[in-house]
Structure 1
């Protein structure tokens, strides 16, 4: 991959990775509820899980996904349902309650697994890898693209987590907690609307 292509890939990946979406919204909400330290496994799941998915797509899985309308639309439907469920859970979460076993941040494996049902992730991965994969050297170019997303994933997730952590100082009463939760839920719903309009196979 040429230097110019690498700069272009990095720029596009940074813009795509830092814009509001399911991953960024969920880590911000997690940090606001549980703090930065307890959200670190969630960050790691994004920083490692998404690049692994990108590598798989760049190395061949994307071709199958693009050719199968059933797989494409099935993933979209599952992802939308999951995201709407997350939006509902975020909107109705209230303050964290340590006495509830379900009231916990994502684990590393939960976060990594979520990447495979995140339609925004599929849109990003397929649209970006299709522009930068080199068929004559697919292994190296797939590794290069995935490496860029390791940096993007960790930095964007950490940045949004810091935003959520900063919000803890403002979330001092139930009214503010509800406003924040409803706003995060609205961002998720907005992401769902964009995902529903996107062409996953393009």
Structure 2
């Protein structure tokens, strides 16, 4: 029995650092594993919906409309830079739970619509690993592969962040960690335009 190459591609594409990995790692560190679970579930659901719609043909439509793609890139870069800015300004531990909190489920789902890495991996998967199925079947195949694999990926990186929090025992260590996460996000925002 062989493993579907789509699953290996999706795992490699989603496990490697990108906006979701960085945000989930930082959230796991700052807010803890349990508090980050709505964010985790929102990412898994949002990635599934985005990849499913890509398999249904939305990815091809975006590629055929350069102006729409530019709007998506600008929105993506803006949102990612805003998240980087928030991390730079963040306290080591949230002091005001009403203001400083992890993403909600809905926020995480919506973020996937402007997450350039999700779009890129989903479009590449649809183009390179499609089976020529009916659009509905192809969409379901991509959505289930992306959601299932990404749930594992999200849980891993959130756990890594929660574990890292145990090692960050000084305010200076926290500040360095948060600035590194913010810098990685800023770089990913710049990569949107390449």
Question: Which interval holds the TM-score relative to the shorter structure?
Answer: over 0.9
Structure 1 unmatched ranges of 5 or more = 198-202
Partner of 1:9, secondary structure, is helix
Residues 5 and 129, structure 2, Cα contact 8 Å, conserved in 1: no
Alignment partner, residue 200 of structure 1: none
Determine the C-alpha separation between the residues in 2 that align with 1:64 and 1:12.
23
Greater alpha carbon shift after TM alignment, 183-192 vs 76-85: 183-192
- Poorly superposed stretches of 4+, deviation over 6 Å: none
Q: How many equivalent residue pairs?
A: 194
Partner of 1:179, secondary structure, is helix
- Compute the TM-score of the two structures, normalised by the length of structure 1: 0.90
Q: CA deviation at 1:26?
A: 0.3
Structure 2 unmatched ranges of 5 or more = none
Q: Of 17, 22, 26, which residue of structure 2 is paired with 1:20?
A: 17
Alignment partner, residue 184 of structure 2: 187
Q: Of 100, 104, 113, which residue of structure 2 is paired with 1:107?
A: 104
Residues 59 and 142, structure 1, Cα contact 8 Å, conserved in 2: yes
Q: CA deviation at 1:136?
A: 4.5
Q: CA RMSD in A?
A: 1.6
Residues 40 and 155, structure 2, Cα contact 8 Å, conserved in 1: yes
Determine the C-alpha separation between the residues in 2 that align with 1:129 and 1:49.
17
- Compute the TM-score of the two structures, normalised by the length of structure 2: 0.94
